[in-house]
Homo-oligomer: A and B are copies of this chain.
Amino acid sequence: MAVRRNIPIIIPEIEVESCTIGLREKVLAGVPFFQALSVDSVRSINRRFVDRGFEPGSTIIREGDPAERLFVVALGIVKLFRTTDSGDTVLIDILGSGEYFGSLAGYGPARYEDSAIARSRVCALSIDAVAFRRILTEYSSVALKSVEALSNRLHLAQEMVRQLAGYSAEARIAYVLLHLADKLGTPWKGNTLIQAPLTRDELASMAGTTTETASRAVSRMQKQGIITTGRGWIALADEDALRDLAPEYSR
């Protein structure tokens, strides 16, 4: 039943060794916190960040470690998750370029509440938590934007709660796909292509279900021509149909 490989997408391997100065500035300017800043301010702030590369699979931060730094993804895909002490993990989110994680408000003895690992080759910018606090007080617009950005994330998280509470597994999977497409999607031949190495398992974990259920849901969607998948990518062929499956998806 290999009806799947009919669209052989070649993933462009646009991975870079380390971030260029220009890229760093471009990425930082796009981070919600810094969006209201002048080019000069961004340049100045850029100097306070350091960049570092991570190989696929390597750990960037670990849940429970002292929360010392704030990270921004410059290039690549980062997996943000939390572990239950019964051992299994819950995927909080998949982050792409311009998204942040780590310590925002790191007062005294704070600890990371999530773990993050590189899911592809990643270049991440980071800054000491204390230094970020300084920026927050220096530039009031950064403070405003931070509050705004956090409000938005909070809203999204609560939206997720609503999804989990009220809708079927299939609906939640559709929701997750749309969410990822919005963040990581690139247009490709009229479809939206999600270029992230997402296993069924990870998809399941994001939607709060099991591998098998996720697999079945994805298969069903493939049969209906709503999506196409392959190794390391998912393409949304019929976004409207997906939206029908995911009630109340907005934005």
A144 lies within 8 A of chain B by Cβ:
yes
Name the contact of A155 in the complex, choosing from B85, B107, B113, B133 (C-beta under 8 A): B113
Q: How far is the CA of A71 from the CA of B11 in the complex (A)?
A: 49
What residues of chain A have their CB less than 8 Å away from a CB belonging to chain B? 82, 84-86, 88, 90, 92, 104-105, 107, 113-114, 133, 136-137, 140, 143-144, 146-148, 150-151, 153-155, 157-158, 160-162, 164-166, 205, 208-209, 247-248
Copies in the complex: 2
Q: Is the interface of A mostly helix, strand, loop or mixed?
A: helix
How distant is the Cα of A161 from the Cα of B80 in the complex, in angstroms? 14
Q: Once bound together, how far apart are the Cα atoms of A144 and B140, in whole Å?
A: 10
The answer to whether A147 and B150 have CB atoms under 8 Å apart is yes
Contact of A157 among B88, B147, B158 (CB under 8 A): B158
Nearest B residue (CB) for A86: B247
A90-B161, A157-B158, A164-B208 known, 4 other contacts, Cβ within 8 Å: A82-B162, A136-B143, A157-B161, A161-B208
